Structure 1
Amino acid sequence: MSGPLTPRGLREFCLEQNAAVEDFPFGPDVSVFKVAGKVFALSALAAVPLAVSLKCDPDEAVRLRADYPAIVPGYHLNKRHWNTVTVGELPARMVRELIEDSYDLVVAGLPKERRLRLDRP
């Protein structure tokens, strides 16, 4: 994939993560992407500009916010653990890596039995 992520591309990439599902607990306008019932990404896909909130290691979250104006503390989330990323202001590859990092953090926090079930086909 090249060029900036579109709403469709963002949604598809989130759903490409192993066992990821899309849910709408906050209404039809906010896509919530989960793995094993735990949130790893949230986005109002129709919003302009397109943004996505992602889980992040607290120290890394602070560094990213300092280095990139397009990354701010998570909107309506625990600001220590969540960043909101304005998608079009960053390279698509970086946004994909941040999504993968968020997914990996959530999976790492799952009980071992649930993590092992994710690894099975």
Structure 2
Amino acid sequence: MIGFVALLLIGIAIGTRILTPDPVGGLAATGGVQQVRVNGGAVYVGVVTKSGDGYIRIGNPATIRQGPAADGASPGPGLVVEALTIEPYDIAGDLVVPIDSIEWAASVRPGSGLETAYRQATGAAPAPSASP
């Protein structure tokens, strides 16, 4: 009887995994850039892939924080995107995050200011030229 119950529970667990959509896999399948907010408020930007059970991998990671507006003339704070592969972070490779520490994750709209800032911070796009 115990063997039957154990087999039944294993079957339910496998069936649930097969039938339940994988939100991380779905997010990663969209391609492009995603942003992930973790417990504590840190927000990361990069290319999300699943990394085994319970983890995601953020490729070419960057962090987002509030800072002065990019043009210096706009009132209020702007967003600052910093690659994690440069000082003071010096991360060599991907960032691995436990799924249970994620508050939310979303794809970044292609062509948005955030995507442009991310690509500039990571060297995938040229930095804006200074105005004369």
Alignment TM class, shorter chain as reference: 0.3 to 0.5
Structure with greater helix percent: 1
Greater gyration radius: 2
Taking structure 1 as the reference length, what is the TM-score of the superposition? 0.33
What's the TM-score once normalised by structure 2's chain length?
A: 0.31
Higher strand share: 2
